[in-house]
Copies of this chain bind each other. A is one copy, B any other.
């Protein structure tokens, strides 16, 4: 399971389940996420395997927290996983399915609206990531060379998010243009004055 290893990685310093969840909603949110209801049992299982230890720590203020620490075996397992090569899961994009099937509506306006909505959501997420990027390395990666090893690796990971999201936003722009061109009579260059057939049958 990947979540196990993500948890091992996030536990380079001791933390509680609640802390880790905060990590998912802040730093790690662009590449992974998990709910508390998944995190707690997972941590328990990792402890049973000997990859973590835990201790109840009643802090000066607030309810007691169960703080987990990575063991030497836990770290070894993390390193083993890192050596396994890139783990690439199957990506599923329901919205691309929707787009493919949208021809059944026979209404390019609907497709266009769909792409506009998609672009706005992608842009919102891109803005978040760009913020994270400039927080860590300044505008345009001004001080990438001054980053410590940890921040440098995180920076690289954020860059993927930024680039791939920007590509998707650009794709929306391109698609919207092509939809416009598809909607107009396609005979602009050919000078042919057909009645803008909405649909061409394929052979």
Can you name the residue of chain B whose Cβ is closest to the Cβ of A168?
B164
* Residue of A92, A108, A161 ringed by the most chain B CB atoms within 10 A: A92
Can you name the residue of chain B whose Cβ is closest to the Cβ of A166?
B167
Q: Are B100 and A153 in contact (CB under 8 A)?
A: yes
A128 within 8 A of B: no
Q: How far is the CB of A129 from chain B (nearest CB, A)?
A: 12
Task: Decide if the interface of chain A is mainly helix, strand, loop or mixed.
Answer: helix
Q: Are B148 and A202 in contact (CB under 8 A)?
A: yes
* Chain B residues with CB under 8 A of A104: 9, 12, 75, 78-79, 82
Tell which of A39-47, A53-61, A114-122 binds the partner.
A114-122
* Given A32-B92, A82-B105, A92-B32, A199:B100 Cβ within 8 A: no
Indicate the size class of the contact surface on chain A.
35 or more
Q: Are B95 and A88 in contact (CB under 8 A)?
A: yes
Can you name the residue of chain B whose Cβ is closest to the Cβ of A75?
B104
Report Cα–Cα, A202/B159, bound state, in Å. 21
This chain: copies in complex: 2
Q: How far is the CB of A145 from chain B (nearest CB, A)?
A: 5
Q: How far is the CB of A152 from chain B (nearest CB, A)?
A: 6
* Chain B residues with CB under 8 A of A179: 156
Report Cα–Cα, A94/B152, bound state, in Å. 18
Q: Are A103 and B2 in contact (CB under 8 A)?
A: no
Q: Which of B5, B75, B160 contacts A168 (CB 8 A)?
A: B160
A144 within 8 A of B: yes
8 shortest interchain CB distances as A-B pairs: A167-B167, A9-B101, A31-B96, A87-B94, A86-B95, A103-B149, A2-B94, A31-B93
List 13 A-B pairs, Cβ < 8 Å: A31-B94, A31-B97, A32-B94, A32-B97, A82-B98, A86-B114, A87-B95, A96-B160, A101-B153, A103-B153, A146-B186, A156-B175, A163-B171
